[in-house]
Amino acid sequence: MKHGPAIMVVDDDASLLATLKEFLSHEGYDVETAQSGAEALAIQAANPRLSLALIDLIMPLMGGLDLTAELRRRDPDLAIVIMTGYGTIETAIEAIKKGAEDYVTKPFDYEAVRKKIARLMEVMELRERVAQLEGHLERHACFESIIAVSPAMERVMERARLAAATDVSVLIVGETGTGKEMLARAMHQASPRARMPFVALNCGALPRELVESELFGFRRGAFTGAYADTPGIFSAASGGTVFLDEIGEMPKDVQVKLLRVLQEREVRPVGSTKSVHVDVRVISATNRSLNDLRSSLLREDLYFRIATVVLQVPPLRARQEDILVLSQHFAARLTRRYGRQISLSRSAIELLLAYAFPGNVRELESLIESSSAVSADNPQIITDKDLRPLLSTNAPDPSLTSTMSQPVSMEQMERLTIQQALRMAEGNRTKAASLLGISRDTLYRKLRQYQA
């Protein structure tokens, strides 16, 4: 017994039904046949695998147009092809308005029939893939805001998803602008602590003398300007997550006290003689190398406490696959913000693919936004000439980067962009086409071309 999608053929001509069933069965399809509209509706109700129906236009009692409308009312995803022996294009168009995908004329060109059915079955498969993708997004909705399709980032996010379900300390390593805090927030939202606070502190942005009071809080009178008891971020984040960005910049004397917090689960505010119990999960981040952290920046015992799980976020230049999808994402977001169509030309994409992005994703976002802010064109197509003056002249040569991924063709980039648009649109193909700035028909054609 076949277990894939099924095809239903509806015609009041028994000999034609037998011929079509034999032909389609030989093509590998599971075929149901009906000689009336009522029989077809009964088959549809009993067969949830029904994906496509071939329906004769002229039948007694319930004609092909009425049957098409009723079948689509019951199942909007059912693909329908009208069969007509009269060659009446106007009637065929009316059938398409009622929900038919296509039509074929009798006598049949069986090669044309085979191709049309194969094309529609590909669309059915795409729908199933989109449904699977929607299920995947529902399971991992917290990571939906992270736009990435590269294998390197997929591996990072998979490790992050697994770590999020636990309470272990996580160290995120990556260059400035790679999205370390966004990843930390996604992990918090995917964790059992999601309903509790997420509190972030940039250890490198605070004066040395204020780091301890920001972390642990202080009591009134502890120092000049301490007019009232103030909780630190560990107390403020009780039950939730503390994100310590640029952990490598933390003074060594404060590191000793942080280690005690992690070991004993209690803090002592500045100016107090009593410790306060805290229940937090710690996620740290750094733009320094792991070797620098361990050898000179952090106490070794603290390093092992905060780095139970290490996530290394690759720089944007090492994951070219993400450059196009991120560019498209930023352009689509600006399109919604400014109310005008904004897209990138092929020359702009090729320039971005050849650029090393010292500022990573943050720099890419700034480039797209800067190019859009100085134009009122509608539609606006950002070109390489718009971007070139904005590129950093101090960017490293991407050819010298040992972590550079293999070159990706424009066709591969386009396929990845379509996949990401479907993710962003949660499987809604009309919305995905709008995000991409193309028609729905063009999107379907691309989906068939790339089998995305």
Q: Where do the structural domains in the chain lie, given as residue ranges?
A: 6-137, 143-314, 317-450
Distance CA 331, CA 437 (A): 10
Distance CA 216, CA 234 (A): 6
Identify the pLDDT of residue 179. 92
Integer Rg of the chain from CA: 30
Residue 316: closest CA among 364, 349, 284: 364
Q: Which residues pair with 198 in a beta bridge?
A: 241
367 CB burial (10 A radius; 0-12, 13-18, 19+) = buried
Identify the pLDDT of residue 274. 85
Question: If DSSP codes are grouped into helix, strand and coil, which group holds residue 42?
Answer: helix
Identify the pLDDT of residue 160. 94
For strands 276-277 and 266-267, give the pairing. antiparallel
Domains 6-137 and 143-314 agree in fold: yes
Domain topology for 6-137: Rossmann fold (3.40.50)
Tally: H helices and E strands in the chain? 19, 16
In 28-168, where does DSSP find H-type helix? 37-46, 64-74, 89-97, 110-139, 151-164
pLDDT digits (tens, 9 = 90+) for 279-315: 999 999 999 999 999 889 999 999 999 999 999 999 9
Q: Kindly state the helix (H) or strand (E) to which residue 299 belongs, with its residue range.
A: none
pLDDT digits (tens, 9 = 90+) for 311-331: 999 999 998 888 888 888 888
Token pair 């059912």: residue:
78
CATH number of 317-450: 1.10.8.60
Token pair 């008891």: residue:
229
Distance CA 32, CA 389 (A): 63
Distance CA 35, CA 50 (A): 17
pLDDT digits (tens, 9 = 90+) for 412-441: 666 777 776 777 676 778 777 766 666 777
Distance CA 9, CA 81 (A): 10
208 CB burial (10 A radius; 0-12, 13-18, 19+) = exposed
Identify the pLDDT of residue 88. 63
Question: If DSSP codes are grouped into helix, strand and coil, which group holds residue 114?
Answer: helix
* Close Cβ partners of 200 (under 8 Å, ≥ 6 residues apart): 181, 184, 242, 243, 245
pTM for the model stands at 0.59
* Close Cβ partners of 416 (under 8 Å, ≥ 6 residues apart): 149, 321, 324, 325, 408
Distance CA 149, CA 131 (A): 18
Position 333, amino acid: R
Token representation of residue 352:
């971005």
Query: Which ranges of the chain have pLDDT less than 70?
Result: 1-5, 86-89, 126-142, 393-414, 420, 424, 426, 434-438, 450-452
Q: Are 81 and 123 contacting, i.e. CB atoms less than 8 angstroms apart?
A: no
Specify the DSSP class assigned to residue 395. P
Token representation of residue 36:
């009336």
Query: Is the domain covering 143-314 a CATH 3.40.50.300 domain?
Result: yes
Identify the pLDDT of residue 177. 93
Identify the pLDDT of residue 287. 94
Distance CA 389, CA 134 (A): 40
Distance CA 107, CA 86 (A): 10
Number of C-alpha atoms within 13 angstroms, CB side, residue 324? Answer: 26
